[in-house]
Structure 1
Amino acid sequence: MAGPSSSPSRRLAQLTRHLLASPSSSSGELSPVGAPAGAGAIASKGFAAVLVCIFEDPRGDTRVLLTKRASSLKSHSGEVSLPGGKMEEGDADAKATALREAHEEIGLDPALVSVVTVLEPFLTKNGLDVTPVIGILSDRSLFNPVLNKDEVVDIFDAPLEMFLKDDNRRTQEQIWMGMTVPFQVFDYEAEGKKYVIWGLTAHILTRAAAVVLQRQPSFVELPQGPTSAAVTSKH
């Protein structure tokens, strides 16, 4: 028998299943995040997937699981990212990759997650196609994180709606191939810890929030220039 905590998640599942049927949620076309506008010369060099794992807290707010990468990693150390990585030979599809990586990184049992939609892939500056997979964690209390300390040093969750608001958002610039490219940054604090969410992760979360919550961001998205993609360096 379903308990009170499962009801909000069931409503969220119904919403995302509806979005799965919408062609706008998964067009199959590349979103050129990571490449400057018109940079068609960047060819795909591989495939990866990340898990946008969402759940509803007791107040009915939709939240998303995020991780902080280990400081010992050679690249993108200490950055906030979504669980994910490159597809491996045994992976049937992007969904399998995202669920496998989440299990390896944070101990998330795939049986606890219901995959409800897959967004269009994002093309990183390194030519990697990264597919966001949206899954619902129906009961957050059943998930007891077990972190792979070689890759992940922290796990936290943030309100999904935050990535549609301008409140904690700022912009920065970086130089890439002689060009100055802006990118968006979200600042978040939880349990006395401060997190900076930026680059590819920020773009994916804004897109996922717009799809799941069926609202456009209150800000104008920046030109999609090169973004940091921690997923590219994991394998």
Structure 2
Amino acid sequence: MRTLAVLLLLFVPLAFAGDRPVRFSVIEGWAMPLAQIDEGRLTGGILFDLFDALTKKAGIQADYRLLPRARVAQALESHDIDVRCYISPTWLEQPFPDYRWSVPLLTQRDLLVSRDDQATDLGGLSRQTIGTVLGYRYPPLQPLLDSGQIRRDDARTQELVLKKLEIGRYRYAVSSELALHWFNRALPEKQQLHPVAQLDQTDLSCMVLDDPQVPTRALLDALAALKQSGDIERILAHYR
């Protein structure tokens, strides 16, 4: 009887740890088609659909944590979030050894966008102001920014960047391919924005906290299964 009581005391904390919702980071600056955020809550978009499919596949509950982009690194350091998605190791300014990487899940293409459809290159951007998203790093543009040849004009979300381009606040902006296609869906053909150069292409993954309270292996396996089955591509196709 005494042995049974000891075993129960050992089991209860483990069961409680396994039942804790998994904390997903949600960035305040995300916009459609990546994410729809209403009154501080993630309610739709590509990442909502991905998280929903992941929680069902792994058999977990999700706790979405809305964070300013500038606070995400601190949240990773303090283990306040368990899963961060739509991220690449090349985008991080520091390593986070307590997190494990999933397989690559999708590819982001960063485009230089204009109201005109005339192709250009970085050499033709001298003295231009470029529409950019606050907090984003753009490695192909960094040498031009550092030398003062071009300037950034930051907006809080990708959608706001493209709206400012549409009304003529600047001649060029940077946009992901997915965001550009989504934005153009609401515009007449003659008013649509055009990609004039590809700046970068990056494979994106999720990073998962390696901790006894987190079903790390189950989450990584579920993400790999969603990729292999074509479920992620089907989610993306819905927003193209």
Place the TM-score, normalised by the shorter chain, in its bin. under 0.3
Give the structure with the higher percent helix: 2
Structure with higher Rg: it is 2
TM-score (norm 1): 0.26
TM-score with structure 2 setting the length: 0.25
